[in-house]
Amino acid sequence: MSSLTFMQSLRQSQRQQRRFSIVIRWIIALFLMFFAVFPVLWIISAAFNPADTLATQTLIPRNAGLDNFTELFNSPVFPYWTWYWNSIKIATISTILSVSITTLAAYAFSRFRFQGRVTMLKALLLIQVFPGLLAMVAIFLMISQIGDLVPTFGLDTHTGLILVYMGGAMGINIWLMKGFFDTIPREIDESAMVDGATHWQIFTQLLLPLMRPILVVIGILSFIGTYGDFILARVLLKSTDQYTLMVGLQIFTSGQFSQKWGQFTAGALLGALPIMLIYLILQDQIVGGLTRGAVKG
């Protein structure tokens, strides 16, 4: 009888421990969710707050309205939609070019064997170790000197900024895409060669359709990194009409006595919409591409 009582008390103790563990997990999960969502809610609240200040900001603003959005859209001094278009244009062009060049380079590193191949791969990986800020002065001087010869690629041009973005995004993307290429069996290439296919036909007609997940991943990562960049765009762009969205929004908070936090948060909220839509539409492709590309290196 005592043994039965002991077993019952033991089971009850185990149930209590499981319940306590579940409660602790829920508390931690809710805290992390609140920690992640609170900044977004604060920005949304500030965007609809007509007080145009963060000093007296509350989570639920009083007299909420669209005044900040109206002033943002109708401002004759700050061309918000021009900045918005500049960011989308620069991010889209640099992403397309970067993904195209990266795909060709990764295909060569994965399928061909040539002298210096391993050394070049290690060099690409080594370059990524150093922060991009270390090259900021060198990039500025290089673009400035190029602009003296070819003004189209110089300072205060979108073309020069796109070239810098392309070079900075290729290193880690080549490694990521090469790992994905390595997961595709070489028997596919060999079978196509037996049928008389060229390397270009194999690449475009057989391998590229299989590369769709990793192409989506690299395209999204490149677009987001370029779209949200502030430092490079701030250094290389000088004219207000040439600014990207991130650089333009900084103007609203840079004034010493006239900081327009309401318009800043309204512009930031609208600026986050493209990234949010991309993640919602292509989230399955992102997860699948990252996991499959990490199988081999």
pLDDT in tens, 194-235: 888 888 888 888 888 888 888 888 888 889 889 988 888 999
Which residues of the chain, if any, have pLDDT below 50? 1, 293-297
pLDDT at 297: 41
pLDDT at 11: 76
Domain boundaries, the chain: 2-69, 77-293
Q: Which of these, 84, 119, 96, lies nearest to 243 by C-alpha position?
A: 84
Pick the CATH number of 77-293 from 1.10.3720.10, 2.40.10.220, 3.40.50.620, 1.10.1030.10: 1.10.3720.10
Structure tokens at 217: 């991943």
Structure tokens at 223: 């677009």
Distance CA 238, CA 185 (A): 49
pLDDT at 277: 87
Structure tokens at 158: 């979108």
Instruction: Report the predicted TM-score, pTM, of the whole model to 2 decimal places.
Output: 0.81
pLDDT at 87: 93
Distance CA 224, CA 115 (A): 35
Sign of the dihedral through C-alpha 242, 267, 286, 131? positive
pLDDT at 134: 78
Print the SS3 string covering the chain: CHHHHHHHHHHHHHHHHHHHHHHHHHHHHHHHHHHHHHHHHHHHHHHCCCCCCCCCCCCCCCCCCCHHHHHHHHCCCCCHHHHHHHHHHHHHHHHHHHHHHHHHHHHHHHHCCCCCHHHHHHHHHHHHHCCHHHHHHHHHHHHHHHHHHCHHHCCCCHHHHHHHHHHHHHHHHHHHHHHHHHCCCCHHHHHHHHCCCCHHHHHHHHHHHHCHHHHHHHHHHHHHHHHCCCHHHHHHCCCHHHCCHHHHHHHHHHCCCCCCHHHHHHHHHHHCHHHHHHHHHHHHHHHHHHHHHCCCC
